[in-house]
Structure 1
């Protein structure tokens, strides 16, 4: 049984590819960051804020700070469920996402993490206030207690 830390998870399934495995025989820590970016972008697109909208608005969200707790290893061929929630939105320039990665076969949580994303102008890379489309699109999907 899969137990997500928070309700209303946005998730996707990934199967660990051979190229994700490091010399220690398990998923390399940088691959987990890729999974986290993948689910963040997948969720962003589901919210109607894909690359076309980013370009139209000259705004995008970039990672400012990421914290990761690696709890257990994953191995080639395993099916993982990667989930995310938006847990903070300062309604100015930043949002915070939480992540959880679960091994589907046994329901074990392999990773918990969070990233603070900051709104920037695409043409300059400088921090800018979120446009109205981001304020309405990046609403909280879960509350932390």
Structure 2
């Protein structure tokens, strides 16, 4: 099936989800907690793709944890829907705070079902207190922040 939709931001990391009976609540649609879980799974998969896993977090005694989360539930998903969650790192101060955004799209019609935004903070795993991001976080996560990427220039633009 060809996908005829575009994400709201460039260069997303994506993860596919198919709605099954276990995702449906008493109202007959995907329960909102499932969307939250899909965000969590997508964010972690993106971190793994960037080369940071739990063993790195433990070795560095550092972790990025959710400080604030906002979820905008726009449309419902139902049994049989194939969806794709896009995620981006959209901001980082390179010290303590990072931001991640999400967009969940139903593949068949390209409708956005959810938008979400997380503010993350770096903590020391050994005591749960805030700490500066280790250089490995700044490099791996910082290089993935889409806002930090230079915009391509139109062809024919001499510099």
TM class by shorter chain equals: over 0.9
Q: Is the 8 A contact 2:18 2:83 kept in 1?
A: yes
Which of residues 18, 21, 35 in structure 2 aligns to 1:18? 21
2:138 is matched with which residue? Answer: 135
Q: Secondary structure at the match of 2:147?
A: coil
4+ residue runs of structure 1 moved beyond 6 angstroms? none
* Equivalent in 54, 60, 68 of residue 63 of structure 2: 60
Larger radius of gyration: 2
TM-score (norm 1): 0.95
Gaps of 5+ in 2: 149-159
Displacement of 1:5: 0.3
SS of 1:61 mapped into structure 2 = strand
Q: Could you say what the CA RMSD is over the residues aligned between the two structures, in angstroms?
A: 1.2
Residue 156 of structure 2 is matched in structure 1 by none
Q: CA deviation at 1:78?
A: 1.2
Once the two structures are TM-superposed, the CA of residue 2 in structure 1 deviates from its matched residue by 1.9
| Matched residue SS, 1:138 | helix
**8 Å CA contact retained: 2:92, 2:145:** no
Match of 1:99 in 2: 102
Question: Shift of the alpha carbon at 1:123?
Answer: 1.1
Deviations 1:57-114 (A, max 9, x none): 0111111101111110001221110010011001111100010000011111001110
Structure 1 spans left out of the alignment, 5+ residues: none
Q: Which piece of structure 1 moves more, 100-109 or 15-24?
A: 15-24
Alignment of 1:16-95 (within 5 A): 16-95=19-98
Contact 1:8 1:141 in 2 (8 A): no
